[in-house]
Structure 1
Amino acid sequence: MHADLLLHPSWILPVDPTDSVLIEHSLAIADGRILALLPSAEAREQIEAERELDLPGHVLIPGLVNAHTHAPMTLMRGLADDLPLMTWLNEHIWPAERRWVDPDFVLAGTRLASLEMLRGGVTCFNDMYFFPAVTAQAVAEAGQRGVIGMIVLDFPSRFAESAEEYVARGLQLHDQYRDHPLIRIAFAPHSPYAVSDEPLARVRTLADELDVPIHVHLHETHDEVVQSLEAHGERPFARFDRLGLVGPGLVAIHMTQLEDGEIARLAETGANVVHCPESNLKLASGFCPVARLLEAGVNVAIGTDGAASNNDLNLLGEMRTAALLAKGVARSASAMPAAAALRMATLNGARAFGLDGEIGSLEPGKAADVVAVDLGDSHTQPIYNPVSQLVYAAGRHQVRQVWVAGRQLIRDGQPLTLDAAAVIAEARVWAERIAAGEGRVLGRG
């Protein structure tokens, strides 16, 4: 048997089955796909590889899937902290976006986000932002996977003047990337309070025709629910259900305000939820009832949200926070065990966007999106359970090797497809420009 690459780690966590831990096994890659997983002694005898890589003390995991972010907003990291959501949005973020966001901003911000995420083991992310074609271009150039949102809003921005124009530009994006190996497209109406019924109904029709997901902020805060009751006489989820948006293609972000009937309806329809614990904690938005959702059979993934509200794109850290928070909210130490958190950050994220046949677990035939994490550091020793060490103790600096479709993007912690110094320098140029325009001095608030 011939392979392009044969990896020999100490452990492999395939993710499916959930609790599986392969010890002294090897993973073979050929033509960008996983060829085989088998005991290392057999692999060395049976597989003739162009290259072999011994990874003692490392654990192999599927590439992490960041199921919700706003990549270009890395350039707004720390711009407006310690504020409630609507104050943060209305008085700071949206005005700054109207002033600064253009294709150059999006390109620089996405490159910075890709650099950060790849170094943290994120091989695929789902994005919602302006000028999505620029985001798609940057992601493809980095060799990363992206689910790029066709953003829809009622109000004008520097990207589009009306809901109709947002939709039209989104359809152009879909046509451009219809057959791209790394880029997928989703509709991304921003939220119930930012998009009215008519464009939402249009999105539903087009999403059905194109067979693409619908990615939306939903039930993020208590105030959002109250405002919907006042404006529409129904909760946002009920409004989306009435409009026909609730189904297997719905990817509902945040969902911190849920009643039992809504959880049952999510499970009944096959809709997906993305949990963003650190953003929700920082903005005091509420607590997603993750344990109840999982118990009901709802597919729950994990996202970081944007760096302007988190303030990082660290999905390893997000897994730990999600697992700990779920236990506190459920008042049960057994809620969301480590293996469930890893599954949420990999296979569940892939499933939310219809990519679970391609990525999300380490199985023969799937794309070779693989991450090697070095557990040899003092803070991840000793190792009784590599899954627990990965989720509860490991840091993203321990990500050493990253492959997407068999192509190595991170080697020994260093990027191969992005010029880190140039990306960071460009971010600093933008920071100086924005700080001067906002009447600030960098580093002084």
Structure 2
Amino acid sequence: MNMLKDMHERAVLLVPDKVLLPDGVHSGLGVRVERGRITDVGPAGRFSAEALPTIPLPRRLLMPGFVDAHHHVTQTFGKSLVFGEPSEIFRRVWVPMERHMDAEAIDVAARLAAWESLRGGFTTVADAGTRATVGMEIVADAVGAVGLRCVLGVICNDLQGGQAVATEAQILQLARHHLGRWDRHPLIHPSLAISIPEAASDEVLVAVARLSREARVPFQTHLNEHLAAVERSLVATGLRPLQRLGRLGAIGPELLAAHATLLTPDEIALLRDSGAAVSYNPVASAWKGNAVAPALLLSELGVRLGLGTDGTRSDAFRLLDAAETAQRLTSAMASGDSSAGGGWRWLDMGLRGGADAVGLAGKVGEIAPGAHADLLVVKLDIPELAPSWDLEWELVRLANRDQIESVIVQGRLRLDRGLPVDWDGEALMDRARAIAERIAASAPIQRIDPCASEHRAQWKARQEARRP
């Protein structure tokens, strides 16, 4: 039985071998947790007078849960349907699929996404909104039941294909309703979203950005991700997407720009000067992007940065590796920068940087008094870390999700060795398989590239044809 199972019922002292704090890895510390919060951190011996129930964690690292700064929790059923596909798969796969998902499908997809995120070490995700027609409470209830903290976006588009589909008044009514409905939910934090700037009129872009700013919540949008979207914006408005936001005054600290891979020098300056945040999504760039965000440059210039999966692969340690590798291959190697961020930068981006980007700075992504007790217990007694010389770098390059023994959110144990502690994971997977098959069969999904087996057969046929 995991000793952490009942920790939410009383104040406890966690005494791990090592603790990851904002300034690095420390030994000999205790972390006091009560009522879902971290209440104190200090030398373990200092807590002896309190006679707290103590949970020793030998040969373990206690670290904050990671923050996924850009996710799509209702797109879980797509997965390998989009492998090998060209850019802008949202038009051919995600939108058709989500619009054919009923309440049951959304519930199961969101639960599955939440479980995957927790398994991968993410205790908080920022969801950019669903195009399904069901109510947002279904998504909130699903991720909350699994135990994932979610910055939940509601899509505020008023245009579709350049045609109006809602009035500004209707959009603002939707937005205000969403902002006011989660006050008592311990794991749901509201956000407003516009899918891409071209999906909103100038008036709605300005209004949604202003409302986000006033409510102090993130304004999420996919920005400067694909060449096609940049060119459509230029044709329609004479401005690139980010330039358009800047011209309208719809950019500020509330902006959470997903991707931002295609940036001109003046756009980089605009991000820096406005205080906007960027979700750097390296796996998405590798799988279906036109470019990689210049994360090292943005970081050096002081642009706020988090790491996002874009719903690709919910594995935080592999995301750290991808973040560092993408920068090494696209910029650091050419300039002889062998450090490429020094290791710690990617950890910080996946933790405190992500928390700041999604509007939860000081509340998640760090072990500090007052923060939510959203924690990971990571096994260190493995061959890959014997010997261990620089644990922060090793977490970026060598760690994997199999080392995550316990996932704690709001002071409650949610997963034990990847498995849920209070609900049936096998039953959820069975439901997911059946429902996903139904949705994929009915939705007008358009794939361009063949599946792997067909691709192999085509390749073999070409080889045979070339033989003399």
Query: Normalized against structure 2, the TM-score is what?
Result: 0.86
**What RMSD, in angstroms, separates the aligned Cα atoms of the two structures?**
2.5
Q: Distance in 2 between matches of 1:313 and 1:413?
A: 13
- Whether 2:241 is the aligned partner of 1:259: answer no
Identical counterparts, % of pairs: 33
Aligned pair partner of 1:420 in 416, 421, 425: 425
> Which residue of 2 is the match for residue 10 of structure 1?
17
Structure 1 partner of 2:239: 234
> Conserved in 1, the CA contact under 8 Å of 2:219 and 2:255?
yes
For the residue of structure 1 that corresponds to 2:77, the secondary structure is: helix
1:373 offset after TM fit, Å? 1.0
Corresponding residue number in structure 1 for 2:138? 134
**Separation (CA, whole Å) in 1 of partners of 2:225 and 2:317:** 22
Aligned mates of 2:58, 2:388 — CA distance in 1? 13
Q: Cα deviation per residue 1:370-394 (whole Å; 9 max; x = unaligned)?
A: 1111122223332112212211111
Cα deviation, residue 4, structure 1: 1.6
Q: Which runs of 5+ in 1 are unaligned?
A: none
164-173 or 203-212, larger mean C-alpha shift: 164-173
- Of 71, 84, 87, which residue of structure 1 is paired with 2:86? 84
Q: 2:412 & 2:300 partners in 1: Cα distance?
A: 37
Shift of 1:123: 0.9
- 8 Å Cα contact 1:150/1:166 also seen in 2: no
1:152–1:163 Cα contact (<8 Å) kept: no
Residue 390 of structure 1 pairs with residue 401 of structure 2: no
1:330 Cα deviation after fit: 2.4
- Is the 1:11–1:386 Cα contact (8 Å) retained in structure 2? no
CA distance in 1, matches of 2:178, 2:137: 6
Distance 2:77 2:251 in 1: 33
Please state whether the residue corresponding to 1:355 is helix, strand or coil.
coil
- Code of the residue aligned with 1:277 in structure 2: it is P
Q: Counterpart amino acid of 1:76?
A: G
Greater CA drift, 24-33 or 388-397: 24-33
- Report the equivalent of 2:304: 299
Aligned to 2:29: 25
Equivalent residue number for residue 49 of structure 1 = 52
Deviates more, 1:270-279 or 1:28-37: 28-37
Q: Does 1:327 align with 2:328?
A: yes
2:3 alignment partner in structure 1:
none
CA shift in 2, pair 1:443/1:333, >3 Å: closer
Q: Tell me the residue number matched to 1:152.
A: 156
2:72 corresponds in structure 1 to: 70
Work out the CA distance in 1 between the residues paired with 2:107 and 2:139: 6
Aligned 1:87-166 pairs, distance under 5 A: 88-98=89-99, 100-130=100-130, 131-155=135-159, 162=166, 164=168, 165=170
1:430 equivalent in structure 2 = 435
Any idea what SS the aligned residue of 1:230 has? helix
Shift, 1:161, TM fit: 5.5
**1:166, distance to aligned residue in structure 2 (A):** 5.2
Q: Deviations over 1:98-129 (max 9, x none)?
A: 3x223222111110011111122211110023
Distance 1:248 1:138, change over 3 A: same
Report the alpha carbon displacement of residue 176 of structure 1 after superposing the two structures with TM: 1.5
CA distance in structure 2 between the aligned counterparts of 1:375 and 1:278, rounded to whole angstroms? 26
CA contact (8 A) 1:143 1:417 kept: no
Residue identity opposite 2:149 in structure 1: R
Query: 1:67-103: per-residue Cα shift (whole Å, max 9, x none)?
Result: 10001111111123212223x23233322333x2232
Matched AA of 1:101: M
Residues 234-278 of structure 1, C-alpha deviations (whole Å, 9 max, x = no match) = 111110012222111111010101122221221111110100100
Note if contact 2:296-2:340 (Cα within 8 Å) is conserved in structure 1.
yes
Provide the rounded CA distance (Å) in 1 between the counterparts of 2:357 and 2:172. Answer: 22
Shift of 1:151: 0.8
Matched with 1:403 is 408
What code does the residue aligned with 1:121 have?
G
* C-alpha distance after superposition, 1:390-445 (max 9, x if no partner): 111111121111212211212343222442112211111112213443699x9978
Label 1:140 to 1:7 Cα distance change in 2 as closer, same or farther (>3 A). same
Alpha-carbon distance between aligned partners in 2 of 1:140 and 1:222, rounded to the nearest angstrom:
36
Aligned residues: 431
Q: Which has the larger radius of gyration?
A: 2
The C-alpha deviation readout for 1:50-71, integer Å capped at 9, x for no partner, is: 3x32222211111111110001
Change (3 A) 1:188 1:418: farther
